Chain A
Amino acid sequence: MAESSHEPVPGMVEKRGRALWLTHALMIGGVLIVFFPIWLAFVASTVTQPEIVSPPMPLLPGGHFIENYTKALLSGVNVPVYTMLFNSLIMALGIAIGKIIISLLSAFAIVYFRFPGRIAFFWLIFITLMLPVEVRIVPTYEVIAGFGMLNSYGGLIFPLIASATATFLFRQFFMTIPDELAEAARVDGAGPMRFFIDIILPMSRTNIAALFVILFIYGWNQYLWPLLITTDVEMNTIVMGIKQMFPSGDDTADWPVIMATSILAMIPPVIIVISMQKLFIRGLVDSEK
């Protein structure tokens, strides 16, 4: 910040003393309210079913953590949760990595080449920015069914990488790379792919990482699409599988196991967001601009 050398007027802008504590108290209150649903789910995942079904349930964790999580992971309700976790992992990684690779390649082609159809291609991918999968579910479902890709990882992944957000981001970034680098590569007799691998890729490292965080969470948190195309419980992802754990009739839901599954479903994205916070915020701001 340009102003960092400037000493603030004490007590006028940043709060001191009692007002400071009040601000902290309000922040803590806000954090507690925002956190409460997660806390309650965690508590429910550590107590027994009878404790939950005779309200009010306790607000502090019980001693059945290992028991509930073991049950969820190894047997679940319809399918063991570890299977769903694995499916979600493949789907999220497939979407993140797949989209980054095809976007890097096509952005490189658009920026560093003049080829026939370049402008048309640019507009075609621009249109894909506009249409989320939710809007074209029925025909997309028919395409996947036609290819026999229901209940497959390909069916889970491909329709969700058919959008050009990442291509745009990489294009924007490539435009800021100084022309001298490409010039130097050409003078040295390096071909385009050599330039791409030795110069462009290393320079894009942070952008790739930031985008990976955003895309992984996007993929992990998908609901409607896996719900439609994974009719086989062995292919369920964890986010859509939780809802399937609720009994359809009047039976009581197995709350401790469902809540343990909910906690397990949020751990991977939360860890990624927290541990890569700076990259995540950067990716978020970049991808929405």
Chain B
Amino acid sequence: MEKLVTFKGWLLPLALVFPQIVISAVFFFYPAGQAVWQSLFIPDPFGLSTKFVGLGNFEFLLTDEFYRASFLTSAVFSLLVTLVSMVPALFLAVMADRLIKGAGVYRTLLIWPYAVAPAVAGVLWLFMFNTRVGVVSWYLGQLGYDWNHVLNEAEAMGLVVVASGWGRVSYNFLFFFAALQAVPRSVIEAAAIDGASFWRRFFTIVLPLLSPTTFFLLVVNIVYAFFETFGVIHTITGGGPQQATTILVYKVFADGFVGQDLGSSAAQSVILLLLVGALTVVQFKFVEKRVHY
């Protein structure tokens, strides 16, 4: 799509795009290029010189059991976060959609967690499940369950999943609710007159009509779980116990800044770059389809 009416001249438009070009070049393209470049080298332990190793860093990563484990951890983590945030959101949206009055009030209340930063959400959930002072862990203890996410890997994973998914419930709720409101009432009523029960209507009519929204949210939530949950992990577990909650983005940070292994960290960045690229393509392909839907 192009505008038919345009203004003349090229000095002014270049001046207008100049700020964005400079900022993108300095803070985006140069660092991204550096990441690709550094991924081909190994610095010596004193940081005095670097040795060209070609794809050596990648070769090492793909055979490294810790990196593979981190890949698996990320996959499990993002699937669980997606599930934990989408199912309750859909349920709440369906309930809110049944209401004639008051849905707006619930929506206002349910938006709150979206505004809470992942890192702050991490602190709130850490407080609830803290092994010494946590309220939830204390009551679990009364019930005979000894909660300790500092030592137990599954519990650590569960906690970071719930803390990461919590704010996303708001987000998913907003999209599901908007999509439900757009489902034509006449279709639902026709089915109701034919005697279809609520749940039957839901599974045969509403859910298929929601599928574009559901698919969109799936992709967006996976991207979120992969790239925006660093704050949750850093505040709650720091990647532990052992490496049970070290997702890929956390490992880039841990290897690059804590471990000072710049070559490996850069190679990991490049792998993530390819991953985001693939997810973005999926997302755009889907958006294109949705336009024709």
Contact = CB atoms under 8 A, between A and B. Distances in A.
**Same complex:** yes
Interface of A: 1, 3, 6, 8-9, 12-15, 20, 23-24, 26-27, 30-31, 34-38, 40-41, 44, 52-53, 55-57, 59, 101-103, 105-106, 108-118, 121, 124-125, 128-132, 134-143, 158-159, 161-164, 167, 175, 179, 182-183, 186, 191-193, 195, 217, 220-224, 227-228, 239-240, 242-243, 252, 255, 258-259, 262, 265-266, 269-270, 272-274, 277, 280-281, 284-285, 288-289
B38 interface: yes
Contact of A105 (B19, B123, B184): B19
Interface in B30-50: 30-35, 38
Listed residue (A15, A35, A53, A136) with the most chain B CB atoms within 10 angstroms of its CB: A136
Interface string B149-183: 00000000000000000100111001100100100
A13 B192 contact: yes
18 contacts: A8-B185, A30-B110, A34-B110, A37-B121, A40-B128, A106-B16, A113-B6, A115-B10, A115-B13, A135-B269, A139-B31, A143-B34, A158-B23, A221-B117, A221-B120, A224-B253, A270-B115, A285-B178
A117 B138 CA distance: 63
Interface string B225-245: 001101100110000000000
Interface residues of B, number: 103
B280 A130 contact: yes
Nearest to A117: B14
Interface of B (DSSP majority class): helix
Interface stretch (B56-64, B66-74, B76-84, B92-100): B92-100
Given A24-B99, A139-B266, A38 B17 contact: no
Contacts of A262: 120, 123-124
B257 A228 contact: yes
Nearest to A4: B185
A31 B34 contact: no
B116 interface: yes
Interface of B: 1, 3-7, 9-10, 12-14, 16-17, 19-21, 23-24, 26-35, 38, 88, 91-92, 95-96, 98-100, 102, 106-121, 123-125, 127-128, 132-135, 138-139, 166, 169-171, 174-175, 178, 181, 184-186, 188-189, 192-193, 216, 220, 227-228, 230-231, 234-235, 249, 252-253, 256-257, 262, 265-266, 269, 272-273, 276-277, 280, 287
